[in-house]
Structures are given as C-alpha cells and as structure tokens.
Amino acid sequence: MSAMQFQLYREISLKALRRVVVTGEKPKPVRYVLPLENLFNKTSSSKKEQVFHGGSDSYSKQRRRPHLFKRETGSGVPFSGGSYQPLSNPAAEVGTPSSAVYMELPRNGEWKVGLDRFLPDEGTMRVSIRAARSTEELQGDVALQLGLSAHTSNNANFSNVISQRDRVVKAPAGAPEFIHFDIQLADIQRNPFRKLETTFPRRDEFLHIRNVTLVEGLHVQFDHVEITAPFYEQWPPLGHKVIFFDSSNRVNESLYAREVLQQFMNRAWRRSVEGSEVDRFLNLFTEYRPQFASMEEAMVEVLATVLAHPEFLYLSRGESVKARGEVSHYELANRLAVFLWSSIPDAELLGLAQAGSLREPSVLAAQVERMLADPRAHRFSHHFVRQWLGLDGLQSVDHITDEGLKTAMEEEPMAFFREVLSRNGSVMDFIDSDYVVVNSRLAQHYRIPDAHGVEFRRIPLESGHNRGGLLTGAGILAMNSDGKDSHPLKRGVWMLERLLHDPPPPPPPNVPEVDLADPEIARMTLKERIADHRDDPACYSCHARIDPWGIALENYDAMGVFRTSINGKPVDATSELFNKKTLNGIDGLKDYLLAERQDQFARAMTHKLTAYALGRHLTFADHADVNELTLQFRGKGDRLRDLVHLLVQSRIFNSD
C-alpha cells in the first residue's frame, strides 16, 4: 500500500468515525413543527375567494390540487408552499398532534416547505409525518418522497430527491400514523451560500414532500409534520456506546484505552489480536493524547489508523495456515461475511470460529440460512447482480428521463434474483419465467395490468406475454442500446459475456465504421446494415458469433418497450447462429438457450458466483472445482439457494 493510499483510507475512516463518535454535551437541535391549523386559518382568511367546501359541485376538481382541509367546517383552501422558522425552544412540548386540519396531496402533488438557512451542516435530519391514505376504495400504494432544493440565482439552482426510498403510507383514512425519514445532511447537496451574511445570492433551502403514487385519485393526507436536525434516538448514540462501552476501568484511562482497542481491533481485523499488536496502537494513542481535549477524540485518530491497516482492508491469511492451504475458522467467517453480507463477521460467526466448530457441515449450513435471512443479505443480491450483469452501464444511460422508471429498471434484476434465491428457484428462471418481479412503475412500462404497489413483488404473466426472465428486463435492454434504438451488437456481446461466460475477442484495429452518408446504406434496415458490415472479411468471424444473439432481441426498443414494427415495417428478429441454428425472436432465443445451452449457463452461473464469493478472478487451476460444483448444482435441479450452500461447503471456498 502506498503512502497516498494509506492517507486516503485513513481520511475515509476518520470521516466515518466522526459521524459515530460524539464528544461534549448533546447538541441543541433545529426543530420545526409545521402549524397546519394556523396555516389554514391564515390562508383561508387571505384567500377567501379560493375557499371551497366538501359538499360543493367543484370539490372533486378542487381536491386535485394540494390543499389544506378543515374537518369541522368541511372547507378547504389550495396550498402548496410557505416559509417557516424553527422553534425558539426546540425542547418545547407541542402537545398531541391534532387532526382538525390536514394537508392533502394528490398524485404528483407536493408541499414545498421553506426552511430558510437554519439546518446544520451535518448530522441526521429526521422528518416525521403523520399520514394516512385518502381512501381504501382504490387499490395500490400511496407513497411519500422527500426532495431538497435551492434557488440561489437565475442561473444556479438544484432540486434532488434526498430520501433513499419512497415510504409507503399504510394507515387508512382518518387514522393517520407516523412515518419517519432519516437523512444524512452531510451526504446531500446543500445551498453553498447558506452561511453568507448577505441576502444575495439566496441562502434558503426547501424541503419537498411529494405524493409519488401512480394511482389516479389516491391521495395522501397528513396532519402533523416535524423536522429535527440533528436528531438522536439516544445520547450518547448507540454507535458511540458500542466503541466506548461501560467498564470498571473507565477511571483508568490507560487501561480503558487498551480495552477499547482490544475489542475494536478484534472486530475490525476479524480475529483475536495479539497483545503486542494492541501495544503498538496503544503507544500511538499515548502520542496522540496530549494533542486532544478528550480521550475519545484521541482514540478516534488511532481507530482510523486501525481501519486503514491492511488487516482490515484485505482478506489476509495467517502465517500458520498458508502452508496447508486450508483457511482458518476466522478466515472462513470473514469469507462468509464478505460473500453474503458485504461486511465483517458478527459475534455469532466469530464465536463459532473461536470455538473451532464453524467448518462442521451442519453448522455451516445453519449459518448460511441465518445469514440469508438477515437484511444484510440484500447487499449480496445488490452487489453480485450489479457485477454479474454489468448494471453500472445503466448509470451512463441518459435517454431515460424518468428517474423513477430508471431506478425501477435498475432494481428489477436484483429483485428478481432475491425472489429466486428466497424460494430456492431454478436459475433457468433467469432465462425464462412465467412471472416477473416488478413494482407498479415498471408494470406500467411493461403494460402489465393490475400490478399495484411501490414495492417489488412477484406477478404471474399471462400466456404469450413478451416478458419473463432477465433477457427482457428493460434496464438490461436500455443499457445495451444506443439511446435512440436497439443495438444488436451490444446486446449480443452482453449475452455472451454475462449469461454464457463466452466473451468474444476484442475487435481488430482499424475496423471500418458503417457509412451512414452512403444513401444505399441509409435506406437499409438495421439488420441489413449489420449483415452488410458482416460481409467484410475482417469483421465476419466475430460478428457471426455476436450478431444473431442481439438480433433476436430486436422486438425491444431503446427503452426496452416491446414493438412489432420499426418505421412502419414489421420487425425482423430472426437470425441464424454460427452453428446454423435459427433463432426466431425472443421466444426462439429462450427456447434455444433452454434446449441447447443449459449446461453452459449453469456452469457460467457457477463460475460467476464462485468468483464473486472468493473476491478474485478464477484461473485454469480452478476449473476442476468449478466443474465439480456445476455437476452437483445441476444434480440438485439448478436451484440457486442450493448453489450457495454447495459453494460454501466446497473445497475451493474453504481453501486458499
């Protein structure tokens, strides 16, 4: 590791630790409680001509706009903005939330809440909203989303979504319940002028509360909104207390520092550390201590160095086991945690490692099941699927302007993988399935009816539908397009690399471009242009292997939408493989893969998962292990969860 790398890792570690460790008194928060009843009274008085009543003929039209509604009088008034000041006494009791007045947001409606410039630079901002659905008569989810914006001048403004996920409002009308958003202020874009003393550029920031349901007529009603920053569930925070735990040695700083280091290093380095290793960092603490006002501040500097050490950053091996080729129990715990949680081992894994029982087959199987049931296993689905399918390519796609749709496209393959994993389904479902895993936004894109909800869920497909499996996922099709239309070459290369693990060779130098200025070529269909390009002897050998796979997907455009014609002409998605097999569109492609390429796909799946689990490229020396795993995997019906178990119990996973 270079000095520059060490410095970078240490700075990252310091930033993370300073977010967790606190010193001094609990900071005084900035707290807003938005006064809905006062807002209604003030707005209805100043805009009397806009006040409407629940029983009026215009009510159904008026409620399509964001508005405040007073239950007692049955009257409402349009409202969607306003600027607010924090409470002068953030500890003040505001009483029980009242349902006398509620804010109602229709589909795509938002409340733009002006917060001036008082939010702190960092810490957690908690936004608490007591909300309910407007009706139970309509199916589907209603969900809230948060955004933050600033308009500093005519040429400088931004508006970003800041909530990591939309929050579904489940409470029925008239019985609101609190939902909470926790936002890390240091992680979001802020108004850079908020600290200036001048009034220009503008210094204020705006919180946007949005109803992002797709169901027309399904509104959200909320009667209490509270914003607190920084917000703490407890003081000191739990993360701080995990590091600086209670101990009888707290009165003796040197002894307590050793205790803190011992426990932290055991967890961070994922093994029992030696006393001499602790001594080195204790000496560092002794050097740092006079430079800081508190023991905690000095210790944070030392702990950052612990985290910048190769023992934390890399899956290193103990000297005693290098010769025999079998990983130790601690190393097995590390490998399991990184594979299934993208994290460090928890206390249970480390306890089994210390007891020397982790490698027992029944214990290992039970731990895999426990770990897959843990929410941290979502990281496995997220990271493996992104790596396996190359989903980073979707980030460079700029022809999808609907961010909600783009996010759903990216999430779909991961949700599909989780569905197959959770029920131990066959990986052949990745090629074709009689179901999809979608949310309402993606179902709308696929023209799948009666699919409601913000969350992804399994939806059965009608016979003859043009979806199913990963090949027809809009995100995969969109990232393998040119932004305007499909791109058979990209799609063919993706198929060979990602699904069949048979990547084509790189193109030779000086490959001629397709000359679109040639009127003869310009009149050709895309398939005809590809065939013309393939006729060049320098291009034939590679394109004969690649093009047919991509041409079979021609019924899907640059957005992954199914089509039957292009510029008024019927889509020709028929192609011939280099082995003279004909692929008749997407159905022919799926049929061929399931009839002729199951062994290849099963081995590719085994290879990809093994490489991910080990965190390295596989070599020729690993082929025998992969072949053996593939045979066992196929013998168990190609089931994904079984493959995870087989891999964890395998020789290759348990050895260096």
Q: Which CATH number is 57's domain given?
A: 2.60.120.260
Same structural domain, 367 and 454: no
Contact 219, 64 (CB under 8 A): no
Same structural domain, 204 and 86: yes
How many structural domains comprise the chain? 6
389 lies in some domain? no
220 lies in some domain? yes
Last residue of a domain, one of 207, 229, 251: 229
Q: What is the pLDDT of residue 534?
A: 60
64 lies in some domain? yes
Same structural domain, 46 and 160: yes
Same structural domain, 267 and 323: no
Same structural domain, 143 and 205: yes
Kindly tell me if the per-residue pLDDT of 510 is higher than 80: no
Closest listed residue to residue 305, CA positions, set 283, 326, 320, 324: 283
Helix axis angle, 347-355 to 361-373, nearest 10°: 170
Q: Per-residue pLDDT tens for 556-570?
A: 999 999 999 998 899
Last residue of a domain, one of 270, 296, 313: 313
Tokens 């980030």 locate to: 395
Same structural domain, 141 and 161: yes
Kindly tell me if the per-residue pLDDT of 442 is higher than 50: yes
Same structural domain, 435 and 296: no
Same structural domain, 305 and 334: no
58 lies in some domain? yes
273 lies in some domain? yes
Same structural domain, 73 and 159: yes
380 lies in some domain? no
546 lies in some domain? yes
Contact 330, 604 (CB under 8 A): no
Kindly tell me if the per-residue pLDDT of 485 is higher than 70: yes
The span from the CA of 606 to the CA of 271, in Å, is: 30
Contact 102, 178 (CB under 8 A): no
240 lies in some domain? yes
Last residue of a domain, one of 313, 331, 347: 313
Q: What is the pLDDT of residue 94?
A: 78
- Tell the burial category of 480 from Cβ atoms under 10 Å away from its Cβ (0-12, 13-18, 19+): buried
Contact 609, 384 (CB under 8 A): yes
Same structural domain, 352 and 458: no
The span from the CA of 149 to the CA of 162, in Å, is: 10
- The average confidence (pLDDT) of the chain is 92
Give the global pTM: 0.88
Same structural domain, 633 and 609: yes
Q: Which domain holds residue 337?
A: 319-374
**Integer angstrom CA distances of residue 396 from 391, 406, 445, 483:** 10, 11, 20, 10
Cis ω on the peptide bond leading into residue 78 (within 30° of 0)?
Answer: no
Q: Per-residue pLDDT tens for 621-655?
A: 999 999 999 999 999 999 999 999 999 999 999 99
What is the number of alpha carbons within 13 Å of residue 234 lying toward its C-beta? 7
Same structural domain, 608 and 643: yes
Confidence band of 544 (pLDDT split at 50, 70, 90): confident
Residue 226 backbone phi and psi in degrees, to 5: -135, 135
